[in-house]
Structure 1
């Protein structure tokens, strides 16, 4: 839109990781050196770990690396690690162009064929490297499978080098005790930080020059504002700068000044809270909506009727004579003002007494979160395998990021002489909020939590154990409504036909579920989480305090 106006040959601030535009700050040069070390002999068959916040340029560095490797270096690039161990092996083999016909689904057969390939490459003097992007999303099982691949070796040499790229959560993941064998094999680590103020100016100038600009299209004040609003994160710089230049073009300005940059940041909702006047109308509107909600809740209480469930746009489905089974439509109980305003208590030490109290409060707290405080025993029994009690329960294994992804209150199981349940109501940075309203640090629980947690929710006893292709009726209609609210909404033909099954398999693959095209308890959990408004995992009790 603005290319001709500014005399540009191509878009300077695309968020696509294009190595042509790569700007190597001091930090990026050091990170790049670590990656080159990983594909060279220095890696010695171990792991190279590169972490950084979202948008700092990890993937761009990876693409630049792939352009510089020698012809005798074979690289498998895994961009979506949300796979089970066997799928991970299949993806690696496919990236290396290994024929796996007849070996799919068998970990042993896949490893055998990979080993033959690695030996052949080694005999010809080549090297093989596996690069896993977004590695913080790897399950512990998949990480263990990847670790075992480093055991493929000759008498003198390791046959495979593995590079893990991920967000800061990857560092937390690798600190877990059950992954210590993998952590011990990391031969190089680097954390990529955002750009500083001076580097941000150089970054913008570099991208403009590559795009064909013969002058800087941002004023000094505009560059300062760009750094202020982006925090030096390259992806955010690109998004804001692109919108600012579009604004300059629309207003026939020669440069992006501070006002245009702030307006662009406001437009993409990247600014600091409360800085700009344009946000106050939204805050006022939010206050009005909150007031209306409180009035409705108060009126319902006076009439003896508790507020109904808060599930976004998913209407109850009725059968001719009975209410259709719904997986998550809890009746919300009234919460007193005193409960809502109680200040969380700070816990500085995890003692045996605290663990005992937290364990006793876990199930009542989870039941209360769903608005059913009298059902604590039913929720607990459902998570122990009993059915027909009005609740469903799924046991998951993952990281704090996995819990954040689900976005619902959970029961984490701490290890000790026996598994100790603790209700987790919120995660905000390095602080956790328990169901009892206590704030504790994540580090306080790291040595006791190995990734096991439980997610339970109210579910009608008539809801089937699984729903598959060919099924019909209100249950399938309900699934269609959930799928329409998913992160990648389903817009295809109604009913559980081939089109929905294909969409479902892709959904399962992206979320690290078993790719079977069947809606069982786990798939149902990941589907319905988008439609549940309350309860939600609290992620703003510290920053919003």
Structure 2
């Protein structure tokens, strides 16, 4: 099985909606904010559209996890129904006793009585309809009539319509103008950008337990994005088949040729057709939600810019026992500095670290990249408009340990990934006489350090002092970077230094210290 070949715990690109693989891009978070805003605003309709496989169901699942406790929820996923069948489904979803007379009026009267009773108890009702492009105009009009029942402050029934792009065209028809005017929030979920595609692939590989040089080199990201059109489900199909192809060809890294061949097998419109041979060669090789959000929501938060209306619904009103701490990144940096033995005092933690031959490094990536860096880091977490900071102190295949204000708490990797926006800050130890830029042909203590570390990795004789950062050394550095899954530019940047430190046995805190190396 290719999972064993790549040292993975499970196939990373299954199209099943496994919550452990939840990836929330900026646009997915924005779509979620629109749904939460709709629930908190008291309006009638909320509209979410997107291409097939764009992640609408992912957003919907996150929304269902965050619906306020005072909301009663109904969910209809097969809306190809008549008016009577729809009303019956509404009654069943909200556990309304079905009337003896199976007429439209009897159903509507029963639903209205239920809505009024809920209002008297301080409850709201939200009806989610998936695949709503299958609703007929008559059913849509009946939904509008159901939302007529209202108080001076809010509608007693709120409806969320989720569907493919043609739903927007349907709602733009003249006969549905009254319904269209009641849509208080609408969002179209587009495809992932090139950067998001790279983060998505890395994230899923990381959750599946990938380590070492990436199976999908960063240089492949533009091609993955183009072949898949940035649609998550298409990315899954493409990358799953590419891993299978790499396994069949006996290579641990997917190439452009393998990726194009995979595209020809899973997409009919590809311009590089090839015979479907991998599936036959592999035989049986291809194998086959509740998020732990409570712990993450205990992390102190701060608004990101101007709060929007979704914020009350995005977070619990009063978490049970929040750890002490602040929402600004400085306290988290101090907590991270303590792991390195740095006592920054009241000053800037990064400036204090420089006095002890450390540097701050700010990056943007996913959990896969943090596994590669293998060092604790301050993460930026998003929960709607709220921004939080926590120190990631340990990471294994399924669990992550976060520290806030001296309190450590464990969360699932999927839960963390859903809120991690990719921004992180970490420390790394610099060599003697470190320079931010080593010029071509330059010499010095830092060049000697690089030469010594490369020789250690290559298991060659230690070089003499006075080495030059010349073309041969830059070529050796590029070969090292390529082997480690780094950007092979022949320049000595922070991430190259970090990896040389790790392989050279430099004493630094490790993120994966308790994780069994594969």
TM-score by length of 2: 0.51
Q: Which residue of 2 aligns with 1:140?
A: 137
Task: Give secondary structure in 2 for the equivalent of 1:278.
Answer: coil
For residue 111 of structure 1, the aligned residue among 108, 112, 125 is 108
Are the aligned partners of 1:2 and 1:245 in contact in 2 as well (CA < 8 Å)? yes
Are the aligned partners of 1:136 and 1:170 in contact in 2 as well (CA < 8 Å)? yes
Residues 256 and 95 of structure 1: CA distance in aligned 2, closer, same or farther (over 3 Å): farther
Q: Which residue of 2 aligns with 1:172?
A: 169
Q: Deviations over 1:181-240 (max 9, x none)?
A: 000101011111101111100111112222222353212343332111101011100111
Cα distance in 2 for partners of 1:5, 1:137 equals 43
User: What's the offset of the Cα at 1:52?
Assistant: 1.2
Task: Give secondary structure in 1 for the equivalent of 2:274.
Answer: helix
Q: Which residue of 1 aligns with 2:7?
A: 7
User: What's the offset of the Cα at 1:36?
Assistant: 1.0
Q: Tell me which of the two structures has the higher relative contact order, counting C-alpha pairs closer than 8 angstroms and 6 or more residues apart.
A: 2
Cα distance in 2 for partners of 1:277, 1:133 equals 35
Are the aligned partners of 2:144 and 2:179 in contact in 1 as well (CA < 8 Å)? yes
Q: Which residue of 2 aligns with 1:233?
A: 231
Q: Which residue of 1 aligns with 2:272?
A: 276
Q: Which residue of 2 aligns with 1:65?
A: 63
Cα distance in 1 for partners of 2:82, 2:251 equals 52
Q: Which residue of 1 aligns with 2:93?
A: 95
User: What's the offset of the Cα at 1:168?
Assistant: 1.2
Are the aligned partners of 1:222 and 1:259 in contact in 2 as well (CA < 8 Å)? no
Q: Which residue of 2 aligns with 1:26?
A: 26
User: What's the offset of the Cα at 1:271?
Assistant: 4.2
1:266 aligns with 2:289: no
User: What's the offset of the Cα at 1:132?
Assistant: 0.9
Q: Deviations over 1:63-107 (max 9, x none)?
A: 11111223322211111111111111111221222222635x322
Are the aligned partners of 2:261 and 2:273 in contact in 1 as well (CA < 8 Å)? no
Cα distance in 1 for partners of 2:18, 2:39 equals 21
Cα distance in 1 for partners of 2:201, 2:130 equals 26
Q: Which residue of 2 aligns with 1:529?
A: none
- Runs of 4 or more above 6 Å deviation: none
Task: Give secondary structure in 1 for the equivalent of 2:112.
Answer: helix
User: What's the offset of the Cα at 1:139?
Assistant: 0.3
Are the aligned partners of 1:219 and 1:255 in contact in 2 as well (CA < 8 Å)? yes
Q: Deviations over 1:243-301 (max 9, x none)?
A: 111222222221222222111110112443xx32538xxxxxxxxxxxxxxxxxxxxxx
Cα distance in 2 for partners of 1:71, 1:2 equals 43
Q: Deviations over 1:98-141 (max 9, x none)?
A: 222635x3222222222222223222222211111111111000
Cα distance in 1 for partners of 2:75, 2:251 equals 43
For residue 191 of structure 1, the aligned residue among 184, 188, 192 is 188
Residues 125 and 211 of structure 1: CA distance in aligned 2, closer, same or farther (over 3 Å): farther
Unaligned runs of 5+ in 1: 280-545
Q: Which residue of 2 aligns with 1:130?
A: 127
Cα distance in 1 for partners of 2:215, 2:91 equals 46
Unaligned runs of 5+ in 2: 276-518
Residues 241 and 277 of structure 1: CA distance in aligned 2, closer, same or farther (over 3 Å): closer
Instruction: Map 1:439-478; keep pairs closer than 5 Å.
Output: none
Are the aligned partners of 1:19 and 1:64 in contact in 2 as well (CA < 8 Å)? no
1:209 aligns with 2:206: yes
Residues 125 and 7 of structure 1: CA distance in aligned 2, closer, same or farther (over 3 Å): farther
Q: Deviations over 1:161-189 (max 9, x none)?
A: 11111111111111111100000101011
Are the aligned partners of 1:243 and 1:264 in contact in 2 as well (CA < 8 Å)? yes
